Amino acid sequence: MQETQPPSRLPPRPRNRGIYLLPNLFTTGGLFAGFYAIIAASQGRFDDACIAVFVAAILDGVDGRVARLTNTQSEFGVQYDSLADLISFGLAPALVMYHWALSTMKFDSVTAGKIGWIAAFLYAACAALRLARFNSQVAVVDKRWFIGLASPAAAGLMASFVWTAHELGYTGEQLRYVALAVTVIAAVLMVSGLRYFSFKGGPRNDRVPFLAIMVAVAVVVAIAVDPPSVLLTVSALYAISGPSYWLYRRLRRAGARDGEGAEGS
């Protein structure tokens, strides 16, 4: 009897990996925008530099969504995105602020000049620490919250401050100490343990209220009318939302303890 051979199975067709280029192109675009912001700031074109930082933030929000929609997530993409974020939201805002204002502190004294570039480095270092902490905790933290101010939000605060002041006719030298305070505050908030709402919601909460959509449309319209001032307002409000929520929770816990003590007495 002739032995029957099992039907030959073709080897599994390798998955077309060309689509992986798509999300990484957006990441590269964000990296280019951050690099361009550094070049523009070094040439004194601060409005272009600030716009480039916000372009990088938009592309950073797009690349992850594109990867999820096309099912092209990869460890390479995660690491590449993190490195690009370090340039766009760490080095770029720090150098934009340094070239605009912090570098002029050297005219006050040698010590003040050192404080200026140290503050810029502090911001860049805190952005790196924030990104490293996010990568190490991404699988264990509640996705509804960011722990510490996200680096794109901190970069938005820095860039919108420079952009607004520049549009209003202020020079960096005039606002150098305000710029120093903004830089240090943004740096500290990134590495803090404060909670910030991520706007991602839970795994079963894909819908948003109609009011939220109307608010988002109103913000977009306002940004179109006066981009720097509106972006500064939105960035500042989001930055103070973390300390405000921390204070609210602390006062609420204190009130609950007082209530329990009154019942027990």
CATH of the domain at 42: 1.20.120.1760
**Lookup result for tokens 């179109």:** 224
- Structural contact between residues 164 and 229, judged by C-beta atoms closer than 8 angstroms: yes
What does R_g of the chain's alpha carbons equal in angstroms? Answer: 23
Tell me, yes or no, whether 8 lies in a domain: no
pLDDT on residue 242: 93
Using CA atoms, how far residue 240 sits from 148, 177, 245, in Å, is 11, 20, 9
The whole-angstrom distance between residue 231's C-alpha and the CA centroid of its chain comes to: 13
- Structural contact between residues 228 and 175, judged by C-beta atoms closer than 8 angstroms: no
pLDDT on residue 140: 65
pLDDT on residue 1: 43
* Interatomic CA distance for residues 241 and 238, integer angstroms: 5
Tell me, yes or no, whether 88 lies in a domain: yes
For the four alpha carbons of 105, 106, 107 and 110, in that order, the dihedral sign comes to positive
pLDDT on residue 18: 46
pLDDT on residue 201: 58
> Residue 198 half-sphere exposure, CB side, CA atoms within 13 Å?
17
pLDDT on residue 265: 58
pLDDT on residue 5: 53
Contacts of 56 (CB under 8 A, 6+ apart): 30, 31, 33, 34, 37, 88, 89, 92, 155
Tell me, yes or no, whether 150 lies in a domain: yes
* Interatomic CA distance for residues 34 and 207, integer angstroms: 32
Domain tally for the chain?
A: 1
For the four alpha carbons of 138, 142, 143 and 147, in that order, the dihedral sign comes to negative
- Per residue of the chain (265 residues), what is the pLDDT tens digit? 445 555 555 555 544 454 477 888 999 999 999 999 999 999 999 999 999 999 999 999 888 888 788 787 888 888 899 999 999 999 999 999 999 999 999 999 999 999 999 999 999 999 999 999 888 876 666 678 889 999 999 999 999 999 999 999 999 999 999 999 999 999 999 999 899 988 775 544 556 567 767 877 888 888 888 899 999 999 999 999 999 999 998 888 877 776 666 666 5
Tell me, yes or no, whether 5 lies in a domain: no
pLDDT on residue 214: 82
Q: Which two tokens stand for residue 252?
A: 């609420």
Tell me, yes or no, whether 109 lies in a domain: yes
Q: Which helix (H) or strand (E) holds 49?
A: helix 46-69
Which among 172, 181, 153, 4 has a CA at the least distance from the CA of 88? 153
* Interatomic CA distance for residues 195 and 184, integer angstroms: 19
Tell me, yes or no, whether 265 lies in a domain: no
* Interatomic CA distance for residues 158 and 186, integer angstroms: 8
pLDDT on residue 77: 83
- Structural contact between residues 60 and 6, judged by C-beta atoms closer than 8 angstroms: no
Tell me, yes or no, whether 11 lies in a domain: no
* Interatomic CA distance for residues 234 and 227, integer angstroms: 11
Query: What is the pTM (predicted TM-score) of this model?
Result: 0.84
Tell me, yes or no, whether 13 lies in a domain: no
What range defines the domain where residue 65 resides?
A: 20-199+208-259
